[in-house]
A = this chain, B = another copy of it.
Amino acid sequence: MPELRKDPIIGRWIIFSSERAKRPSSYNSVPERNDATECPFCVGNESHTPTEIISYRDRASEPNQPGWTLRVIPNKYPALMVEGDVTREPKGLYDRMNGVGAHEVIIETPDHNSDLTDMADDQIRNIFWAYRERMLDLERDSRLKYIQIFKNHGEAAGASLEHSHSQLIATPIIPKRVAEELAGAEKYFNFKERCIFCDIIKQEISDQERIVSDFDSFVAIQPYAPRFPFETWILPKSHQSSYVEMSDSDYLRLAQCMKDTLLRLKKALNDPPFNYMIHTRPVSKKSQEYYHWHIEIIPKLTKIAGFEWGSGFYINPTTPEEAAAYLKEIKL
């Protein structure tokens, strides 16, 4: 059973994942890369993964067999486990709880060599739709407080398998980073009676200098104070606190905006490793006036070193204005 432990000073929770346990000697070994024949995410290898949760497939095909265009499966090495109760207990002055949650993998395409920038708009839309389906299903489990959807692309960004996929981890507490964003947005709302994200979007559209692209219902911007060079945020222009509040037709528009942004980053930065993360309201909360869901995309270009770990400051060598100008000029 995985275990959650709380840092007693700053209150950050850590997941100790027994399924992912490593011997000290294995830390500095080079990971093996697999090709399509042995890739568990490839067509024909469905038996190498846990039983699928949902799939989009030909009507004539059977679950866990070929014929699919997208599969969602439980992670074979889950950070958190679906079974069990959330029990909190003390250990002297420390706090721990059982590692209850969900950890799923969204296999985005049957094609081993394709990434989001190669896919048809409809296929990307299906990925975003699958996120929604899984969120709506997991939101009914009262043990779960937050659903974090994210993608790791490239080994340096933490992807252990090449085949294009994203992941979902549902946690029994609201994560620290999310709680900070909620608290900051609520404080602003209490003072201004407006959503800070809506205000940011208005200012950015008026300033123009940090806009990368404007896609009807969505805007892609370089934020004013990004941690990383070329960090890009995609936000819905209209106020929505949760990803699942998006209108059905907007999933295709979001797919188009994401593809455009990732293509620009790929061409500008020579296919950089990157992560994207969906930030949405916690499942336990109702629709909120002060929070606004969005996607953060962070290319992995710089190293996090002692100053950043010690202080929580980040040093960014490229201003968002320079990055936006550069990305806007890319010919697609």
8 A Cβ contacts from A157-197 to B: 157-159, 167, 169, 171, 175-178, 180-181, 184-185, 188, 196-197
Docked-complex contact A9 and B184, CB < 8 angstroms: yes
A14 to B229, CA, bound (A): 11
Docked-complex contact B318 and A24, CB < 8 angstroms: yes
Q: Which residue of B lies closest to A79 (CB)?
A: B315
Docked-complex contact A196 and B311, CB < 8 angstroms: no
CB distance from A15 to the nearest CB of B (A): 5
CB distance from A74 to the nearest CB of B (A): 16
Q: Which residue from B8, B181, B224, B314 sits with its C-beta under 8 Å from A94?
A: B224
A65 to B174, CA, bound (A): 56
Chain B binder among A51-59, A143-151, A212-220, A250-258? A143-151
- Contact residues in B for A3 (Cβ distance below 8 Å): 319
8 A Cβ contacts from A1-29 to B: 3, 5-17, 20-22, 24, 27-28
- Contact residues in B for A36 (Cβ distance below 8 Å): none
Docked-complex contact A184 and B10, CB < 8 angstroms: yes
Chain B binder among A38-46, A109-117, A124-132, A271-279? A271-279
- Contact residues in B for A314 (Cβ distance below 8 Å): 12, 14-15
- Contact residues in B for A224 (Cβ distance below 8 Å): 5, 7-8, 91, 94
The verdict on A27 contacting B225 (CB below 8 Å), with A171-B313, A196-B8 known, is no
A307 to B169, CA, bound (A): 8
A13 to B196, CA, bound (A): 17
Docked-complex contact B24 and A305, CB < 8 angstroms: no
Docked-complex contact B157 and A303, CB < 8 angstroms: yes
Docked-complex contact B24 and A268, CB < 8 angstroms: yes
Is A239 among interface residues, defined by CB-CB distance under 8 A? no
Q: Which residue from B28, B150, B305 sits with its C-beta under 8 Å from A152?
A: B305
Docked-complex contact A313 and B158, CB < 8 angstroms: no
8 A Cβ contacts from A290-332 to B: 296, 298, 301-307, 309-319, 323, 326
Is A60 among interface residues, defined by CB-CB distance under 8 A? no
Q: Which residue of B lies closest to A310 (CB)?
A: B277
A-B contact pairs, 10 of them (CB 8 A): A10-B180, A91-B224, A93-B200, A150-B309, A155-B303, A167-B307, A175-B310, A177-B313, A276-B306, A298-B309
Other A-B pairs, 11, CB within 8 Å; known A12-B227, A14-B314: A7-B223, A9-B197, A10-B184, A11-B184, A148-B310, A151-B306, A152-B305, A159-B305, A171-B311, A176-B311, A277-B306
When A and B form their complex, which 7 residue pairs have the shortest distance between CB atoms, in order from nearest?
A158-B305, A150-B306, A277-B310, A177-B312, A175-B311, A275-B306, A176-B312
